[in-house]
Amino acid sequence: MSELVEIDDLRVEVRRSPRRRTVDLIVDRFGDLVINVPEALPSRDVEAIVRRKQEWIYTKLNQKEIVLRPGESKEYVTGEGFHYLGKKYRLKLFDPEAPNRDAPPLRLLNGRFWLSRSAALEGRDHFVRWYTRQGLKWITSAVDVLQERVGARPRSINVRDLKYRWGSCNAGGDAYFHWRVILLPPSIIRYLIIHELVHLDEHNHSPVFYERLAQVAPEYPLVEAWLEANGDAFRL
């Protein structure tokens, strides 16, 4: 198994060489992270180097076409549109009335998102929490079906802010998905799940990874092209 350094949502493959005297950290064209180091460099020193270079890594990842980019800020006003499972729903601000003052500040009901007017200033936080909860439920259910198709089972499923990535996994078998995933159409979400399930066994974008991916998701070139062209539209 490859030696890896894992920090937050970053996973860096460590490649050691007895002939190397310097350290070289690269982000390849697929967004994979590799650090080339001298053979005897202690692991703690390798991790320290990666930590010092985190901001540089995120800057490089942000330049890749396959990763997420931050979007423009929403205003959280009546009539504004928000995606969920590929569809756009309009927002309606409302004033809670008794006996419904204890109702959740944000709900999806009758084809609209309903947000309490008093919660509008924290609208983004409410939407992120709502998307995170819904995403965890939806993705967990989908993984139960797709893991048999792929032949890989994650140790855990987590939904959180992954900065510039749709998904990630670690060598321990934990799968991570950005909360923005749940904004996408279901077919695209299922592909992203399959992509990470294949990564549980193949930890980088090697030819072997793409061979396995093509077996379980032969449509993957079309889906990745769609994400490149349309993914930035699904954001807060």
User: 110-161 pLDDT, tens per residue?
Assistant: 899 999 999 999 999 999 999 999 999 999 999 999 999 999 999 999 999 9
Question: What gap in Å lies between CA 91 and CA 69, rounded to an integer?
Answer: 24
Identify whether the C-beta of residue 26 lies closer than 8 Å to the C-beta of residue 34: yes
Q: Is residue 75 part of a domain?
A: no
138 and 227 within one domain: yes
143 and 211 within one domain: yes
| CATH code for position 176 | 3.30.2010.10
185 and 115 within one domain: no
pLDDT category, 82, cuts 50, 70, 90?
Answer: very high
- CA-nearest of 221, 231, 74 to 166 is 231
Predicted TM-score of the model (pTM): 0.73
Q: Is residue 177 part of a domain?
A: yes
pLDDT tens-digit readout, 65-81: 444 555 567 899 999 99
**Burial (CB count within 10 angstroms: exposed 0-12, middle 13-18, buried 19+), residue 184:** buried
Is the pLDDT assigned to residue 102 strictly greater than 80? no
- CA-nearest of 39, 63, 51 to 5 is 51
